[in-house]
Chain A
Amino acid sequence: QQQVKQSPQSLIVQKGGISIINCAYENTAFDYFPWYQQFPGKGPALLIAIRPDVSEKKEGRFTISFNKSAKQFSLHIMDSQPGDSATYFCAASMVNFNKFYFGSGTKLNVKP
């Protein structure tokens, strides 16, 4: 059973557009939701993270929107750039368990 479901599997966006990636989870005990960015040949790197006590977190062009009642969270990339082309993973974990459940990933391609 997949704990975190991510969609879409792939996404093509024009330069300057908004990229939106969605994730849903089942376990209400999750209380930490990070997003990771992975470039080819590299390991994932933490992009932005949120806890369920806030509904939105913004860092530069990247925003996480969190809907606790729907058990969903999403990543919005504003003014998408070709350099944003990468695979994005959402994840969820519980405090002190240090065990992350990852989504299956979204391959983003930003066209110039």
Chain B
Amino acid sequence: EAGVTQSPTHLIKTRGQQATLRCSPISGHTSVYWYQQALGLGLQFLLWYDEGEERNRGNFPPRFSGRQFPNYSSELNVNALELEDSALYLCASSLGTGWYNEQFFGPGTRLTVL
């Protein structure tokens, strides 16, 4: 069974540009989560999508947005990039809602903002 996949592996942008990160969940999983892993800060919850809708959002500005497609894959968009947006962005998927649904993580996209 294929795991969660993310693309691209690495992304280099300059300040003010836009970045688009993509995630494909495990087959059968309907929930997708996005996390930001900045150095020394652990994982910060960004967004949760389930069945195509945004269900919850972390404490991030509106320039962080995303969507979930009918095939349950997801896209994270970061507009007006700032230097502090440089981080590893992790996507996770689960079978659906509910705490007992384990979240499976992808390998992440390393975003560098110059």
Contacts and interface: CB of A to CB of B under 8 A. Distances in A.
B41 A98 contact: no
B106 A98 contact: no
Interface residues of A, number: 27
Contacts of A102: 35, 42-45
A80 to B, nearest CB: 22
B55 interface: yes
Main secondary structure of the interface of A (DSSP, over half): loop
B76 interface: no
A100 B102 contact: no
Interface string A46-81: 100000000000000000000000000000000000
Contacts of B45: 99-102
A12 B51 CA distance: 43
Interface in A25-49: 31-32, 36, 41-46
Nearest to B97: A98
A22 B84 CA distance: 28
Interface size class of B (residues with CB under 8 A): 20 to 34
A100 B56 contact: no
Given A43-B90, A43-B92, A44-B105, A99 B43 contact: no
B80 to A, nearest CB: 25
Contact of B43 (A31, A96, A100): A100
Contacts of A99: 45, 48, 56, 58
B48 A89 contact: no
Contacts of B50: 98
Interface string A86-112: 000101011111111111110000000
Contacts of A19: none
Nearest to B101: A98
A104 B40 contact: yes
Interface string B66-109: 00000000000000000000000010101001110111111110
User: What 9 A-B pairs come out closest when comparing CB atoms?
Assistant: A43-B105, A102-B43, A104-B42, A102-B42, A32-B99, A95-B99, A44-B105, A43-B106, A105-B42
